[in-house]
């Protein structure tokens, strides 16, 4: 062969072959492993933790590619070959789509490389090798898929055929996620035979659609050729020639390289949006913490304490009615916002009262600053819209943060680094976010006097804001609140806090997105009617029907928020925001009084009337809609929209989309495993406890979930009843302690009667599967409503009934008598072994005790000789009792823990004969670490040691 001359073509290759090569080897990797797996290990790869062949007859992707040899090796070999074309494909896509003054192609290419590396992660680190890292890589890959897909669509050259296929495949990919998740829940939660096979088909479909989406690049690469030239006769390539070839082909092509989506993309704008959203998140973090701190005081005073007045910290916008204060606040809004960060520093204040006052000051300044800023931006509708978006997305981010942190916001002052707080990090980020968000170039910087509305009413606008703020806070500040409204027990017939909390967040986000895109619709009575129907459904129905109503309501509330706020700024801020927050405060007290009627003056007038609250809320929002409809339409022509405001809106919505991925990832990581094991299964032992947890606030106003977790774990409780556990109200932070305890301890959970049932709460945690549960609201004609859970557990193959019950207070003897008769009746009707974990407010052997412990109920006291009891009692029937102990509370709550040990399948004796611990098998003994001084303030007390029975 003659020597090559400079410039000779050494190698020429059409770009479309890179895409086809990637596609062929990717499909070969998956389908090759599937074929080999079916031929060699069919029955093994279709087997899951619940069922095998013939119930399950098609393998999942993970079982096919990661569990067996040689299927796993076949997959790894071909996927390794695929990696080369994959990297080249990403590089060529970047070269094809790059353009001056745009960073988007580089961002998309970086995401493509990240996806490729994470694909290698879940490929070569299988779930068998390291389950956690396999999941991390897999989730990262799925999360990166959305921006990669949207980026490719945004950068697609105007090749109609390619764009069409990309949209179809992207729609199929993301549409498949819905049934995929549904059938996974059917398998994992409901244990439906055959559900995993159906899930597997959707999982394989995701693979096909994902690879096919990237295969579409072959249509764009048809005019794209790789050329290697020997420029010096040394047979080596030159990257510059590749660029020249690309440019030459681009000049010859009739395709014009423009984005299918208009608008610039640049990092400073995205950083501005992120700072604004975090700023909104900080406001909601501080506001939602106020109620928890206020609640601490009436909780310990058992009545009105006087500290409840701090609820009024939100009415500071009334000061904006004074022109001097309004002008001063707007000009120095950065300082006002920064002063509100005292609420994030409040965790450093140890004294509960001082901590409350610190947060009250922060709420005062935060409400003042946000109201003033909205009012100041009213002449720039674009900037106003971004500020409203930041505030609303801040609520969504707050809900996601609580979703990820088991319903506690990590910036709350009831948390610290020792119990789950991220206080220091939160403060640093807040300072940086506010500093950027309120810099002079991004604010109006003065008090503008735009034309005010000639029509409409500031009072009605403020009423609308009050109803909106209350609804957002009471229903949307935690993703599990509406789910627990419709919860009715086992078997599961409706949504679960995990994973369906992500669905609530998605509905909120979709509503906000369309609220910006379709403001005229959300300003209409049609949209209002839709929201009212949703409110009626969640108030009137349970399970899925009620939840669907809740989703509609969440969608509407977030969509109407920009409409009501942008209308309110056209009036005097004192009559809108000041009055609005006052109305919000009245509604907060209203929704507390419906359950706390026994402790407040006039409480019986609104007793158990959540329906009145919902009707009032919707009427208030309707007043705001009426004001918005009648407000001077001329404002729209006189206001100006800055170019920056128009451009920024897109970035807020992009970040809103990214938050959906974060919520979905949290739902995946927190998905319950449902494979829990009791502590002493070889002994067929069930250790049951009862504990009144005082709303998960300890004596020093700290969240107590982790300390409770430690005590329950050390006591080796298989079943535990929790009382005073319903925290799903503004005044209690819209929390759910049972989520953290159940996930960390590995237990099934029944939250008990929901927050719309007007009780203080009773919950059940169990290591044993809950076959069925029924919620009871016992007769309470005078005092507070008494909740009970009647649950049937699968205890080592034996059905055992467990009752968790909180009776009325000492002040209401007739209530307690009626409740004792009701509970005795349902316990006596149980034909199965039964355990009562209860709060009875009686003395042993006296009064109602003889109704609970009677022939009618069939129940026996765990030890009648324990005379020093008043509140907590454990009763049982038809199950062998082997031990009983009382454990001190430490500083977690105001009530001890009572624990009983029972054995299933052995002869039952009701003899009170005690035996020394030495005669008890080690597996049936109570932990020794609670003897003497005990651990962390918990010790055996009253009789200072456990009691055991023959």
Q: Count how many residues are written for the chain.
A: 950
5: cis peptide before it, omega within 30°? Answer: no
User: Residue 834 forms beta bridges with which residues?
Assistant: 801, 877
Q: 60 to each of 202, 204, 535, 707, how far by Cα in Å?
A: 9, 7, 40, 40
The answer to whether the CB of 201 falls within 8 A of the CB of 194 is: no
The beta strands (E) that lie in 649-797 are given as 685-692, 719-723, 748-750, 762-766, 770-778, 786-795
CB atoms within 10 A of CB 811: 12
The C-alpha angle 926, 930, 932, rounded to 5 degrees, equals: 125
- Name which of 732, 734, 741, 705 is nearest 419 in CA terms: 705
890: left (phi over 0), alpha (psi -120 to 50) or beta: left
Check the CA dihedral 890-891-892-896 and report its sign.
positive
State yes or no: is 43 an active-site residue. no
CA distance 729 to 588: 9
Q: Determine the longest span between alpha carbons in the chain, in angstroms.
A: 113
Could you give the angle at the alpha carbon of 114 between the alpha carbons of 111 and 115, nearest 5°?
90
Q: What angle do CA 635, 641, 643 make, to 5 degrees?
A: 175
Q: 646: exposed, middle or buried (C-beta count within 10 Å: 0-12, 13-18, 19+)?
A: middle
3-state secondary structure of 629: helix
- Confirm if 916 and 715 have CB atoms less than 8 A apart: no
Question: DSSP per residue over 245-261, as a string?
Answer: HHHHHHHHSS-----SS
DSSP H helices, 125-194, are 131-155, 160-188
Q: Which of 43, 90, 191, 160 is nearest to 672 (CA)?
A: 191
Q: Is 759 helix (H, G, I), strand (E, B) or coil?
A: strand
Q: What is the DSSP letter of 735?
A: B
786 neighbors 518 (Cβ within 8 angstroms): no
- Nearest C-alpha neighbor of 838 from the set 910, 790, 882, 768: 790
Residues 6+ apart with CB under 8 A from 219: 16, 159, 161, 162, 165
Buried b (16+ CB within 10 A) or exposed e, 430-450: beebbebbbeeebbbeebeeb
β-partners of residue 778 are 786
Cα–Cα dist 68/129, whole Å:
12
The whole-angstrom separation of Cα 946 and Cα 207 is 58
DSSP state of 310: G
Please give the Cα distance from 140 to 117 (Å, whole number).
10
At 644 the three-state DSSP class reads helix
Q: How far apart are CA 907 and CA 902, in angstroms?
A: 11
Which one of 806, 860, 938, 941 is the catalytic residue? 806
Beta bridge partners of 902: 686, 881
d(CA 284, CA 730): 12
| Contact predicate 691/436, CB 8 Å | no
Closest CA to 111 of 97, 130, 99, 125: 97
User: How far apart are the C-alpha atoms of 111 and 151, rounded to whole Å?
Assistant: 9
Query: Distance between CA 399 and CA 662 in Å, rounded?
Result: 11
Q: Which residues are catalytic?
A: 806
């Amino acid at each position: 062969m003659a020597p090559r001359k400079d410039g000779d073509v050494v190698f020429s290759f059409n770009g479309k072959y890179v895409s086809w090569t990637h596609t062929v080897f990717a499909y070969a990797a998956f389908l090759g492993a599937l074929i080999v797996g079916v031929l060699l290990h069919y029955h093994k790869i279709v087997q899951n933790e619940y069922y095998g062949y013939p119930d399950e007859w098609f393998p999942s992707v993970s079982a096919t590619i990661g569990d067996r040899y040689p299927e796993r090796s076949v997959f790894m070999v071909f996927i390794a070959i695929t990696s080369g074309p994959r990297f080249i494909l990403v590089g060529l896509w970047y070269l094809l789509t790059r353009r001056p003054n745009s960073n988007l192609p580089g961002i998309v290419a970086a995401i493509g490389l990240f996806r490729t590396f994470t694909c290698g992660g879940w490929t070569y680190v299988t779930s068998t090798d390291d389950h956690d890292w396999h999941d991390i890589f897999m989730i990262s890959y799925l999360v990166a898929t959305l921006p990669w897909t949207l980026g490719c669509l945004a950068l697609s050259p105007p090749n109609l055929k390619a764009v069409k296929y990309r949209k179809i495949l992207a729609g199929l990919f993301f549409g498949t996620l819905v049934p995929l998740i549904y059938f996974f829940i059917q398998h994992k939660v409901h244990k439906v035979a055959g559900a995993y096979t159906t899930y597997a088909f959707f999982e394989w479909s995701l693979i096909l659609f994902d690879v096919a989406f990237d295969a579409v690049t072959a249509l764009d690469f048809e005019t794209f050729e790789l050329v290697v030239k020997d420029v010096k006769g040394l047979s080596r390539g030159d990257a510059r020639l590749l660029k020249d070839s690309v440019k030459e082909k681009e000049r010859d092509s009739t395709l014009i390289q423009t984005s299918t989506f208009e608008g610039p993309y640049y990092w400073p704008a995205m950083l501005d949006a992120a700072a604004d959203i975090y700023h909104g998140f900080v406001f909601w973090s501080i506001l939602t913490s106020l109620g928890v701190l206020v609640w601490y005081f009436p909780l310990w005073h058992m009545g009105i304490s006087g500290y409840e007045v701090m609820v009024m910290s939100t009415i500071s916008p009334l000061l904006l009615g004074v022109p001097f204060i309004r002008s001063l606040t707007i000009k120095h809004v950065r300082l006002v916002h920064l002063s509100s960060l005292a609420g994030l520093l409040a965790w450093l204040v140890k004294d509960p009262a001082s901590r409350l006052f610190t947060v009250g000051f922060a709420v005062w300044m935060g409400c003042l600053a946000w109201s003033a800023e909205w009012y100041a931006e009213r002449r720039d509708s674009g900037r106003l819209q971004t500020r409203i978006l930041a505030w609303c997305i801040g609520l969504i981010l707050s809900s996601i943060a609580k979703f990820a942190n088991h319903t506690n916001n990590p910036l709350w002052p009831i948390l610290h680094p020792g119990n789950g707080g991220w206080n220091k990090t939160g403060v640093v980020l807040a300072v940086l976010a506010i500093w950027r968000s309120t810099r002079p170039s991004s604010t109006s910087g003065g008090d503008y006097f735009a034309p005010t509305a000639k029509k409409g009413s500031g009072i009605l606008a403020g009423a609308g804001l009050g109803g909106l703020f209350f609804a957002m806070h009471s229903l949307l500040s935690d993703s599990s609140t509406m789910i627990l409204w419709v919860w009715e027990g086992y078997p599961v017939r409706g949504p679960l806090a995990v994973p369906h909390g992500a669905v609530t967040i998605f509905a909120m986000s979709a509503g906000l997105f369309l609220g910006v895109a379709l403001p005229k619709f959300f300003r209409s009575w049609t949209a209002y009617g839709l929201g009212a129907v949703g409110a009626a459904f969640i108030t009137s129905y349970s399970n899925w029907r009620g939840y669907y109503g809740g989703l509609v309501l969440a969608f509407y509330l977030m969509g109407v928020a920009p409409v009501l706020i942008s209308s309110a700024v056209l009036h005097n801020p004192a009559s809108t925001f000041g009055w609005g927050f006052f109305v919000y405060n009245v509604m907060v007290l209203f929704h507390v009084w419906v359950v706390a009627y026994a402790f407040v003056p006039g409480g019986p007038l609104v007793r158990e009337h959540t329906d009145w609250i919902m009707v009032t809320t919707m009427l208030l929002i309707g007043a705001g809609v009426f004001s918005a409809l009648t407000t001077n339409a001329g404002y729209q022509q006189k206001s100006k929209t800055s170019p920056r405001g128009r451009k920024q809106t897109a970035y807020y919505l992009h970040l809103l989309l990214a938050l959906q991925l974060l919520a979905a990832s949290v739902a995946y990581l927190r998905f319950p495993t449902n494979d829990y094991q009791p502590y002493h299964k070889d002994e067929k032992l069930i250790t049951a406890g009862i504990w009144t947890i005082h709303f998960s606030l300890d004596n020093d106003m700290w969240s107590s979930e982790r300390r409770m977790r430690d005590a329950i774990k050390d006591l080796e409780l298989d079943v535990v009843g929790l009382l005073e556990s319903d925290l799903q109200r503004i005044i209690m932070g819209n929390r759910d302690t049972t989520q953290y305890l159940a996930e960390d301890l590995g237990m099934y959970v029944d939250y008990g009667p929901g927050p719309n049932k007007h009780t203080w709460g009773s919950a059940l945690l169990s290591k044993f599967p809950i076959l069925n549960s029924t919620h009871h609201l016992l007769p309470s004609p005078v005092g507070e409503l008494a909740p009970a859970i009647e649950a049937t557990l699968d205890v080592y193959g034996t059905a055992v009934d467990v009752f968790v019950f909180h009776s009325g207070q000492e002040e209401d003897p007739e209530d307690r008598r009626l409740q004792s008769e009701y509970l005795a009746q349902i316990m006596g009707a149980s034909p199965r072994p039964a355990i009562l974990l209860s709060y009875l407010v009686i003395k042993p052997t006296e009064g109602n005790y003889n109704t609970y412990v009677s022939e009618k109920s069939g129940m026996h006291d765990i030890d009648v000789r324990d005379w020093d009891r008043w509140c907590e009692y454990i009763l049982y029937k038809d199950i062998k009792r082997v031990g009983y102990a009382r454990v001190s509370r430490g500083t977690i709550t105001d009530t001890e823990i009572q624990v009983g040990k029972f054995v299933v399948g052995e002869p039952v004796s009701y003899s009170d004969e005690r035996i020394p611990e030495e005669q008890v098998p080690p597996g049936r003994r109570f932990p020794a670490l609670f003897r003497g001084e005990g651990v962390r303030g918990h010790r055996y007390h009253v009789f200072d040691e456990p009691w055991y029975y023959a």
